[in-house]
Structure 1
Amino acid sequence: MEIRHRYRLPLARGMIWLMALLAALPLWLGWHIPRAGASGGSASTAPRAAPVVVIPAHQSVESGLQAFLERAFLEAEEMGAYYIVLDLNTFGGRVDSAQAIGELVKNSRIPTIAYVRGKALSAGSYIALNAGKIAMEPGSSLGAAAVVDGAGNEVESVKVVSAWSGMMKAAAELRGRNPAIAEAMVDKQAGVNLPELGRTVPKGQIVTLTADEAVKVGYAETVAPDMEAVISFIGGADHPRVDVGATPAERVARFVTEPWVASLLLIIGIAGILIELFIPGFGIPGILGLLGFGLYFFGHYIAGFAGFEELALFAAGLLLLVTEIFVSSFGILGLLGAGALFSGVVMAAYNTQQAALNLAVASVVALIAAGAVIWMFRRRGVWNRFILSDRLTTDEGYVSSRERRDLIGTTGRSLTPLRPAGTAQFGEERVDVVTSGQFIPAGSMVVVTQVEGSRVVVKEQRDAHQS
């Protein structure tokens, strides 16, 4: 009982802290941080006149940007904005996120103009095409929307290219722009004639338009040197300007939801918890494990992907795994716990397939890392609570009873019959003795021939008895 108690105490303490952290995280976030799809409270401080709301998008198109734009567009609607200026500067990003952002821009109840500053390439060009108007900074460019994979290699799948090309053409047609140009931005086999520019883009090339070219072909309404010129172009010079920026939490969420960062946090979380389980003490590994999982769910919660259900599922999985350690369920609780953990992590992500892949890779790496650490500190491991590792030898200082080597050669008298064990007296001391199998009557003279630990071996001294 004492061994089991010594093991349970640090583990139970660690699990209590973990459950408390997971329970408190969404509560704190709910009170202090605006979540995607919820008002950030800007409406109460907005000017009374309908403002021009400027929303920046100066990074890769991914799920974190999508969550930020959803919140920003909602705030603009709550302000009763006169116009939204979507300040674009991006080399592109994820197609699925671009599609969601494009739908957001297209369906906005507030008129929207995309102001391209620098680049609006690939997925960025699709977002711009969904805006009611497009303004471009001198020297900026729009287009180059070929589909590429995670390694940056161009995807040549006819099905994929056709789907993305169709989306680009639909966005162009929606705003009265030439769909053939949008198709040529995606499919290098399309080719397009540009009479406004006096040239033809042949097959094998992707269309990219400069600011002046975009205006000439009807893909942009104006070239504007700065934001003030854009606001004047839409008739917003007399309207107050409100800039909606990302909160610190949203910036963290964008970083955390990057696939490689999410994988790293899962590795830290899994490895830290495993090390803490097998080398109890709730020290640095446990704290790092909690921080890893905490940041993972924090980022996905702020991005609008994770909710209370995913956190509860993850916490239940941890509880089931710990219960399996102390309660023999033939692995049932362990399997249920692992399933709940897996489901909580995957469901908290925007892309469940990517999350499952991240979790699989993270689990393998974490098991290797945790195994190496556990092996290095194996003498402090939990199994040492149950296994006696010291050898109980005399050389190690363990003595079960006093060895009477001082009696060897001593002569005494048997007080009881030795059959073969009994009692003999040596001087004033009574000692338990044993013979080598012979019977020695009481009152016989005996001599100690051997001592083995607590075993004192005697034999009869016949000459002394006869005398």
Structure 2
Amino acid sequence: MNKWLKVAFVSYLLVFLLLPLQMIVKADDTNDARVYVIPVEQTVERGLEAFLERSFKEAAEENADHIILDIHTPGGAVDAAGNIANIMNNTAIPVTAFINSEAISAGAYIALNADQIVMVPNGQMGSAGVIDGSGNAAEEKVQSLWISRMKTAAEENGPDGGRDPAYAEAMSNADFDVEGFPSGYLTLNAEQALEVGYADAIERNVDGVINFLGYQSDEVNIVHSEVSIAEQIARFVTNPIVIPILLSIGSLGLIMELYSPGFGVPGFMGISALLLFFFGHMVAGFAGWESLILVVVGIVLLGVEMVAPGFGIFGILGIGLIIGGLFMASFSTTVMVISVAITLVVTIAAAIILFVFFGNRGPWKKLVLQAQTTSEEGYLSTETDQGLIGQTGKALSDLRPAGIALINDRRLDVVSEGSYIGRGSMLKVVYTSGSRVVVREIEQND
């Protein structure tokens, strides 16, 4: 490994071990009332869930009077949205959703679980149909469950005993229409949401929301929860689309490293991808050190299998430990099954290509003897006596087909061309190679 690769690798490990995991908060402790402003941005996924869980916990520990969710999201994973809703419903702190641009799909569901909803003048809310990974509508039972959750969230939250569930159903069911709105998944703008009771106020910024909640700007301590660098990495790494990419890069890097002398860029990329995967999942709270240890031990066993073959035992155990570690670190068995399947396909295809085009390199040359001891290179176990060819002699024993003959007064081990030759028969040498002497019987009339 050259100097720069060593420096980069050590730096990566330092970041992995020392990067602060706690949220960065800005607060002024001189005031009594404390309001937490927590951003809900980008895609709704398990990394966001982990960040919100940590934020709500801190708000409770600091005896916050109110939580404002600053929402700007196009939606995302249904399971993550459901868990975020549970976090909101399990806190005793009042929660206000501030739709600061858009709350689409899973974002709309999160907003409906808040005690109050405030929107910016150009805000949008709705279009909450459930789709699968291919972009198609989810199966009927999943749709039915999601519609029920949307309606329940509307009924159980909001002022005056809840909101009209019909609009929540129209947001999540393209076949359900409400009067005065076009067919298809319903999306409400700020004025429409205010009119039908899905928004309690329209404000331009967080300060306006603070005033709407009844706090005076000089009597409130606003705490802005910010996503730390570690949490940003976790949100990126725990994305279901990113997971198979990282695992594929990790496996490809290690496979390519086997075909490279020393330790170089492929190995560094492979290890970095795997460390990034585990770092993100550990920050998000899904993985522990035990899962990382399993993967490391699995990689070591695979290395042992490559340099000291153990009839496949080390390889099988290594693969099993790696897959087990990955599943222990995962937040979803389904996501990990798909990710591992994609990784295996990519890895097998890459291994075949590397073996076909670079078969004389890498670990294979350690397992198979490549050199050949040819006569052209001077490798002979016994020197060939070409002078014996054409010489005659006598069989001193039966040749079946091997036996003993007397050639030029020399007793030699000889072999016939395959036929039986009796003792005392006259012989002629027809071929020699090293210690091998091939003879033929001479007919009496010759």
2:25–2:223 Cα contact (<8 Å) kept: no
Structure 2 partner of 1:230: 209
What does residue range 131-150 of structure 1 map to in structure 2 within 5 Å? 131-150=114-133
- The Cα of 1:401 is off from its aligned counterpart by 9.6
Decide which moves more: 364-373 or 62-71.
364-373
Decide which moves more: 134-143 or 270-279.
270-279
Residue 145 of structure 2, aligned match among 141, 150, 163: 163
Distance 1:153 1:383, change over 3 A: closer
1:42–1:75 Cα contact (<8 Å) kept: no
1:311 equivalent to 2:289? Answer: no
Give, in whole Å, the separation in 1 of the partners of 2:216 and 2:88. Answer: 19
1:362 equivalent to 2:332? Answer: no
* Runs of 5+ consecutive residues of structure 1 not aligned to the other structure: 1-9, 11-16, 194-199, 408-434, 441-451, 456-467
Residue 301 of structure 1, aligned match among 258, 270, 282: 282
What does residue range 18-33 of structure 1 map to in structure 2 within 5 Å? 32-33=19-20
Structure 2 partner of 1:97: 80
Q: Secondary structure at the match of 2:137?
A: coil
1:141–1:209 Cα contact (<8 Å) kept: yes
Q: Secondary structure at the match of 2:96?
A: strand
Give, in whole Å, the separation in 2 of the partners of 1:383 and 1:328. Answer: 11
Give, in whole Å, the separation in 2 of the partners of 1:294 and 1:246. Answer: 21
Give, in whole Å, the separation in 2 of the partners of 1:222 and 1:367. Answer: 57
Q: Secondary structure at the match of 1:70?
A: helix
| Partner AA of 2:340 in structure 1 | L
| Partner AA of 1:83 in structure 2 | H
Give, in whole Å, the separation in 1 of the partners of 2:240 and 2:58. Answer: 28
Structure 2 partner of 1:381: 362
What does residue range 195-344 of structure 1 map to in structure 2 within 5 Å? 200-201=180-181, 204-234=183-213, 235-238=215-218, 239-277=220-258, 281-325=262-306, 330-344=311-325
2:52–2:84 Cα contact (<8 Å) kept: yes
1:79 equivalent to 2:58? Answer: no
Distance 1:48 1:287, change over 3 A: same
Q: State the aligned residue count.
A: 391
| Partner AA of 1:33 in structure 2 | P
Residue 182 of structure 1, aligned match among 165, 168, 171: 168
| Amino-acid identity (%) | 40
Give, in whole Å, the separation in 2 of the partners of 1:40 and 1:116. Answer: 22
Give, in whole Å, the separation in 2 of the partners of 1:104 and 1:180. Answer: 25
Give, in whole Å, the separation in 1 of the partners of 2:30 and 2:150. Answer: 37
1:301–1:307 Cα contact (<8 Å) kept: yes
- The Cα of 1:182 is off from its aligned counterpart by 1.0
Give, in whole Å, the separation in 2 of the partners of 1:123 and 1:360. Answer: 28
2:383–2:434 Cα contact (<8 Å) kept: yes
CA displacement, residues 352-376 of structure 1 (integer Å, 9 cap, x when unaligned) = 1111111111111122123323443
Give, in whole Å, the separation in 1 of the partners of 2:78 and 2:269. Answer: 34
Structure 2 partner of 1:63: 46
Give, in whole Å, the separation in 2 of the partners of 1:379 and 1:331. Answer: 21
Give, in whole Å, the separation in 2 of the partners of 1:335 and 1:399. Answer: 41
Two-structure CA RMSD over aligned residues (Å):
3.6
- The Cα of 1:33 is off from its aligned counterpart by 2.6
1:272–1:370 Cα contact (<8 Å) kept: no
- The Cα of 1:145 is off from its aligned counterpart by 1.0
* Runs of 5+ consecutive residues of structure 2 not aligned to the other structure: 388-404, 411-431, 436-446
| Partner AA of 1:163 in structure 2 | L
| Partner AA of 1:65 in structure 2 | L
Give, in whole Å, the separation in 1 of the partners of 2:173 and 2:363. Answer: 60
- The Cα of 1:131 is off from its aligned counterpart by 0.8
1:438 equivalent to 2:419? Answer: no
| Partner AA of 1:140 in structure 2 | G
CA displacement, residues 331-353 of structure 1 (integer Å, 9 cap, x when unaligned) = 44433332221111122121111
Give, in whole Å, the separation in 1 of the partners of 2:55 and 2:326. Answer: 27
1:271–1:367 Cα contact (<8 Å) kept: no
1:275–1:374 Cα contact (<8 Å) kept: no
Give, in whole Å, the separation in 1 of the partners of 2:139 and 2:148. Answer: 15
Tell me the TM-score normalised to structure 1 length. Answer: 0.74
CA displacement, residues 282-303 of structure 1 (integer Å, 9 cap, x when unaligned) = 3333222211211111111112
Give, in whole Å, the separation in 2 of the partners of 1:285 and 1:210. Answer: 50
Tell me the TM-score normalised to structure 2 length. Answer: 0.77
1:268–1:366 Cα contact (<8 Å) kept: no
Give, in whole Å, the separation in 2 of the partners of 1:108 and 1:48. Answer: 25
Q: Secondary structure at the match of 2:242?
A: helix
Give, in whole Å, the separation in 1 of the partners of 2:308 and 2:385. Answer: 48
CA displacement, residues 122-179 of structure 1 (integer Å, 9 cap, x when unaligned) = 110010011111100001111111112223223361x222211111111111131111
Give, in whole Å, the separation in 1 of the partners of 2:89 and 2:238. Answer: 25
Q: Secondary structure at the match of 2:271?
A: helix
Distance 1:214 1:328, change over 3 A: same
Q: Secondary structure at the match of 2:241?
A: helix
CA displacement, residues 199-227 of structure 1 (integer Å, 9 cap, x when unaligned) = x347x432221111111111111000122
Give, in whole Å, the separation in 2 of the partners of 1:334 and 1:393. Answer: 35
Q: Secondary structure at the match of 1:192?
A: coil
Give, in whole Å, the separation in 2 of the partners of 1:258 and 1:273. Answer: 23
1:172 equivalent to 2:158? Answer: no
